[in-house]
Structure 1
Amino acid sequence: MLLHSGRCLPVKKAAALFESALNKRLITEGELSGVIGALPSKVATPLSRVRGDAESGTETTVRWWLESLRVPVRPQVVIPGVGRVDLLIGNSWIIECDSRQFHDDPEQYHRDRARDLRLRAVGYTVTRLTWEQVFLQWEETEQMLLAVIRRRDHRRRPAA
């Protein structure tokens, strides 16, 4: 099925599926290398950037978009005193890719806001994106994210 996806889907959508399969341990890195190796080079070359640490298709999609702009982005970064964040852009901008499945529970909502406040206190800026913003409202979301990138807010160093 992944081979078929790699041949038929746009590269970014195939990447989201591949990363999800790796993260959920439905396929090993070795098996995925075999799948990617069986694809035409115009597809296999970009898919060689696939990682196993993305926790959602939303995260993969946003990371690949940032990478396509050559904006420095690191996934799954551990911030001392806070824990792991989805994406660290530049030095100080964190993007969390939230889904209802994991972030709609009132307790998780409060934990997320407490994390955001801790991050803000040490100089990070947090943006939370929903699945809908990435997949249904991307044009508007993209313009707003580009405005932040153009201001170069992400290049500021946090206090921590």
Structure 2
Amino acid sequence: MTVDDQPLVRPAEVVACALTCLDELDAVTIADAALNRGDTTKEEVADLLTGRYSVTPRQRLTKAEPGCRSPLETRARLALRSMGLHVEVAPVIENVGEADLLVEGWLIVECDGFEFHSSCGQFEKDRHRDQQALADGYVPVRLSAADVAEGERAIQRTVCRALFGLARSRRLALPNNRGIMRKIEEAVV
């Protein structure tokens, strides 16, 4: 709510209060949204988090990411980082574009809410991006809103099964036939 286009409460105050009063997931989700929209900065929020009761809110603030564009991405990121996995937020991948998350440098995690991924055009675009990612050596995993809503353990299970399954796979090999390989190489160009 605004008066004369000015917020009644500074966004930094709202974020600081959320980091102090809410559970971690909700607090970081609010911080991510405010940072992503450009409503405030980490510095503005940190300036408000002073005193002996600000240790936990300050720790939560360090987990906030301005590149995170949705609550689905926030929840997935926090779940994966809690395991110690390296997770990049909103990486721009050559030939693919911006991804939601990049885990361990090669596994693309897309958090697909129905609202933005339900049109025919977006469906096609998502498939073409997945194909290009695979061609460039990345592996895409798509989590639906329902997958993310199942919680931290479900997110971790899905992503870790992909990491583990691909790392151990004996199926990853090119055909051992020169004629077929020549055709594959010609098709790639």
Name the TM-score, length of structure 1 as normaliser.
Answer: 0.83
- Give the superposed CA RMSD: 2.1
Aligned-partner residue type, residue 4 of structure 1:
C
Aligned to 1:87: 101
Q: Which runs of 5+ in 2 are unaligned?
A: 1-13, 168-189
Highest relative contact order (Cα 8 Å, sep 6+), 1 or 2? 1
1:1-160 equivalent positions in 2, closer than 5 A: 1-37=14-50, 40-136=54-150, 138-151=152-165, 153=167
- Contact kept, 8 Å, 1:85 with 1:96, in 2: the verdict is yes
Name the TM-score, length of structure 2 as normaliser.
Answer: 0.71
Q: Deviation per CA, 1:73-107, whole angstroms, max 9, x where unpaired? A: 11111111111111111131100111122211110
Task: Give 3-state SS (helix, strand or coil) of 1:110's partner.
Answer: helix
Q: Which runs of 5+ in 1 are unaligned?
A: 154-160
Distance 2:151 2:82 in 1: 19
Percent of pairs with identical residues: 26
Task: Give 3-state SS (helix, strand or coil) of 1:27's partner.
Answer: coil
- Contact kept, 8 Å, 1:2 with 1:35, in 2: the verdict is no
State which drifts further: 31-40 or 69-78.
Answer: 31-40
Larger Rg: 2
State which drifts further: 65-74 or 45-54.
Answer: 45-54
- Contact kept, 8 Å, 2:33 with 2:66, in 1: the verdict is yes
